Chain A
């Protein structure tokens, strides 16, 4: 697969580079753009007040490593709880560098480098006087591109794929901060992952090569390939030894922990990811229409026991997507449906797990400087894993190494095989004060529910429902 994909792009690349009609050469320009935004947020969320200890250190004096989880029996482990206020501010910015040029034979080329300042979600305190700020600069996306009117465009670098944000239709987010796919997660903490949505862009901007076709008869299509989930320059290996932390590890001990991508280390078992999308855009009787069908597939790294037995415990990532939207007189309505093997964060599911289904719909209306809109998403997905990895089972000859989980007794969820439902909606609006300068207001609600499973470990008892509601008021400047 990958050889052929790479081969295809090589052919297209050769065609791109072939001399075409002479067009005036343009020296490259370098541009700076970006945005800044500042919001007030009011958050109502299950488990904002914890009653179960977080076991994090309570003081930095004498710290020798990052806020480590404390051993059972220590003072922190026994009684570290917190109550979170509803009110907070949140700021964010990105600075983008755009390079654009044109060769004598009419090829456009350039690069985009997006510098973000939200590298760290949580605090990083290594020692009492050694920490890095939450606003540490990092790269959001960066890639180079080369484009020809005849053969389309190739992008190479850290960038969203055709299915993961570039060519989707029906995902209406052009109001407020984006509704349920907006900036709400800046205010929501992580318990039960009630902030994590399966948005197209969450599929990731891992390093990939992307082909985007020209549009012909209203159709254009795109395809991409990535070796793994990682981005950036280096190998990712955290020590001199080969380990699962290396970007290119295809079988490693502990792979069973990374079906759901770990946010901090950008770690996931996704391997050999390919995306393909076909889009049609046109207008009928003055109504602008767009329809996209897409597919994303990927293999998974295998678990490797220390005895050297490989276990294929993951399903391939395998999701179909279809979306459509219509726009007329400032009104846009759209809907999108996705189905396939994936967990709630575009991760590989364990073998035997149920597939994901997701339906999204949204509408927005723009009149003069005002835009208002709303969107809604409902997803059903595998909940708590119904099985887990056992090295003994793998070594004993099981190809997956999976054994059934006992589940939680007395909850009616005897095998942890419950369906998780994730339902969210958002309404919002923005007022354009000046080109690029918006005032935004938005309210959103997201619920995660799974019968018989405790989604709020911070509090005693079994809470099988977790809700986060966020109101945002703020401003956003694009430049």
Chain B
């Protein structure tokens, strides 16, 4: 008996590495937890209980599913929409919801002839965080018939980021109160 068990003990772990597509990790909630150890029908393992420390991935996923609605966003939906809203006064050149980049065309404000702007925004992840969006504004001025790169006021980028965040907060609170 012992020898048979030993053989199993040695061979089976090695065999298990060869399962390929028919193989998967057995989740913690697929094991019995005898008697009082488990409250029945509660999520187990990685999703059990209430998060007291760390990032609640399940809640994030739920919220992303709720707000993204299966649109295939791979970045935070609030930040993405807030960025689009904030930059919507400029014509869009491209928007990639998977990479999280938004690039606008050059835009000349009606009030300021001889000056044009272009913006690039990056939504950096799935989390709604203050450092989750980066906005870069480029400015050119018309100098003797040529558009020439000019410096942007250092606060412009930060101001736009703040506007995006404020809008994201608005969207978030709207969806939470629904």
Contact = CB atoms under 8 A, between A and B. Distances in A.
A32 B52 contact: yes
A102 to B, nearest CB: 9
A273 to B, nearest CB: 13
A181 to B, nearest CB: 7
Interface in A4-38: 4-5, 8, 11-12, 15, 26-35
B9 A4 contact: yes
Given A436-B39, A479-B39, A276 B5 contact: yes
A197 to B, nearest CB: 11
A220 B13 CA distance: 10
A291 interface: no
Contacts, number: 169
Contacts of B19: 214, 216-217
A160 B33 contact: yes
Given A35-B36, A94-B37, A147-B25, A213 B52 contact: no
B55 A27 contact: yes
Interface string A219-235: 01101000000000000
B62 to A, nearest CB: 15
Interface stretch (A150-158, A351-359, A380-388, A465-473): A150-158
Given A29-B54, A35-B39, A276-B8, A165 B26 contact: no
For A32, A92, A148, which residue has the most chain B Cβ atoms within 10 angstroms? A32
A215 B31 CA distance: 12
B56 interface: yes
Contact of A100 (B33, B45, B52): B45
Contact of B34 (A8, A27, A116, A199): A199
B154 interface: no
Interface string B42-55: 10011011111111
Nearest to B125: A24
B144 to A, nearest CB: 51
Contacts of A32: 49-50, 52
Nearest to B2: A1
B151 interface: no
Given A31-B49, A213-B16, A215-B23, A276 B34 contact: no
Contacts of B13: 8, 11-12, 151-152, 211, 213
B178 interface: no
Contact of B50 (A31, A295, A297): A31
B12 interface: yes
A347 B26 CA distance: 31
B119 to A, nearest CB: 29
B9 A166 contact: no
A478 interface: yes
A29 B53 contact: yes
Given A1-B6, A164-B34, A153 B25 contact: yes
Given A29-B53, A33-B49, 15 more contacts: A26-B57, A32-B49, A150-B17, A153-B25, A153-B26, A167-B31, A199-B35, A213-B12, A213-B26, A216-B16, A216-B19, A223-B9, A297-B1, A297-B2, A478-B40
User: Lowest 8 A-B CB distances belong to which pairs?
Assistant: A478-B39, A201-B34, A33-B49, A216-B19, A29-B54, A165-B34, A31-B49, A30-B53
Interface of B: 1-2, 5-6, 8-10, 12-13, 15-19, 22-26, 28, 31-37, 39-42, 45-46, 48-57
Interface of A: 1, 4-5, 8, 11-12, 15, 26-35, 92, 94, 96, 98, 100, 108, 110, 114, 116, 140-141, 145, 147-153, 160, 164-168, 171, 174, 178, 181-183, 199-201, 205, 211-217, 220-221, 223, 274, 276, 295, 297, 432, 435-436, 438, 476-479
